[in-house]
Amino acid sequence: MPATPRSTVTVATAGTLVAMLSYTAPLGVLPTIARDVAAGPSAQSWILSASSLGLTTGLLTAGALGDDHGRRRVFVAGALVLAVGQLLGAVAPSPGLVVAGRVVQGLGSAALIACSLALISHVVPAGPERVRASGLWGAGLAGGIGVGPLLGTVMPWRLAYGVVGVAALFVALVTPRLAPESRADVARRPDVPGIVTLAGGLALLCAGLTELRTGVGALPLALLVIGLVLLAAFAAVEHRVAEPMMPLALFRSPALVAATVGALGTGLGIIAVISYLSTLAQRGLGLDPLQATLALTAWPVVSVVTSLLTRHLPERLSGAVRLVGGLVVVAAGMLLLTGLDPSTTSAHLVLATAVAGLGTGVVNATLGREAVASVPPALAGVGSGINNTSRYLGAAVGVTLVSVLTSRTGTERPAQLIANWDRAVLVAVALTVVCLLVVAVAESRSRRTARRQVTDDAPIAG
């Protein structure tokens, strides 16, 4: 079967869906996993966060490698690495190996997500078709987030790991026949100092955030400080080297700034809130794991629908305008998750998460398009990597804030847990609003620049 634009979009979307299945599968069954492998509170935090560490560390590097050495090649390699990570987690007898498997899964997922958008941008031209393809990609992202937690509740969690691993292996096997290879016309030399400082900085930052969830101490603070120092070193390296993996000049584009901050806002806000909501539903509202998971499925289901429908939005609406509108709706949905009490029903959670899903679908589809449209075609993988790194770094920070603000000791009574949750959600809403305001400012700057260009290009009368 020859590769076509449709088959490429299909396999890229499937890879993203599988990556999200892996990312979210443990969310609804963490207590069961912890019981089976004797994981304490600290190990449980690492089980939840290890995939984010792998994702955040690997996204930008995988995108740059794809641009220079073949996006399909890196995409397939990521699927194979994800399959290995799933197998490791499925047979892990101890929490340490479960965590190791999650890190490997995150690294594999990073290659899938970063290169998926680059594969699409290579075969689908900008315009209505790209909008439609980005909507499908966003639907795959939301679908994986929705189905993942259900897998662990409807079948043993080790079997769920195996199912996702088989799906990743299938993606690796069919991709060479369904998607063409693509790369930049001129390959850059490997930016080894950039790769090392970025990966080290992000890994230590995520590790520090994870340790911070179990209490403030010397170790998490040291990890955070060293991580920030390495990220500063990365910025200095990218400024000085002749062929940086992430040219800092890209951020002169208001469109890239808007897309990057919009992605950051989804991580700091709705992803962080949804990641903890299942725990709150069980510990604070008394729902069982399946009830809690089903109550949250409205968010991804509605997100899938709205992602697919974004192609009907008027073309005159810029990416930044769509992001601002979507984030406003997301913030409204999160506000509906405040004021809960032990008598709150699952129907209330469904309503709130459905409202958030309306905005999330628009945001996901828009980010999928803007991530690659706001950078030169030769750097499509880098653009995707920047965008998704922002999303999952934001999620790492956001989940830490929500976890610490909601449950500092892990022994709170339901009423206290719910009261703490209100404060955590309001912080997440505030961070989302800050991000959407930055996106709005970037849009205003972009419009002013466009008006100046029109004025400069206009012929002089007389």
What is the band of 336 on the pLDDT scale with cuts at 50, 70, 90?
Answer: very high
In the predicted structure, residue 330 carries a pLDDT above the cut 90: yes
Residues 231-273 pLDDT 10s: 999 899 888 888 888 888 888 888 889 999 999 999 999 988 9
What is the reported pLDDT for 97? Answer: 93
Top CATH class of 5-182+245-454 equals: mainly alpha
- When pLDDT is cut at 50, 70 and 90, the band that residue 462 belongs to is very low
| pLDDT value at residue 449 | 63
How far is the first Cα of the chain from the last one, in angstroms, to the nearest whole number?
61
Among candidates 122, 430, 85, 388, which has minimal Cα distance to 264? Answer: 388
Residue type, 303: S
- Residue 224 vs residue 245, higher pLDDT: 224
Distance, in Å, from the CA atom of 280 to the CA atom of 344, rounded to the nearest integer, reads 12
Flag whether pLDDT at 361 surpasses 80: yes
| Vertex 248 angle, CA 244 and 254, to 5° | 145
Shortest CA distance to 63 belongs to which of 379, 371, 377, 385? 385
Average pLDDT score over residue span 189-204: 84
Average pLDDT of every residue of the chain: 86
Output 48 or 36, whichever has higher pLDDT: 36
pTM: 0.83
Q: What are the extents of the domains in the chain?
A: 5-182+245-454, 192-244
Please determine, for residue 81, whether its predicted confidence score (pLDDT) is greater than 80. Answer: yes
92-150: per-residue pLDDT in tens? Answer: 999 999 999 999 999 999 999 989 988 998 888 878 888 888 888 888 888 888 888 88
The 10s digit of each residue's pLDDT in 152-179 is 778 899 999 999 999 999 999 999 999 9
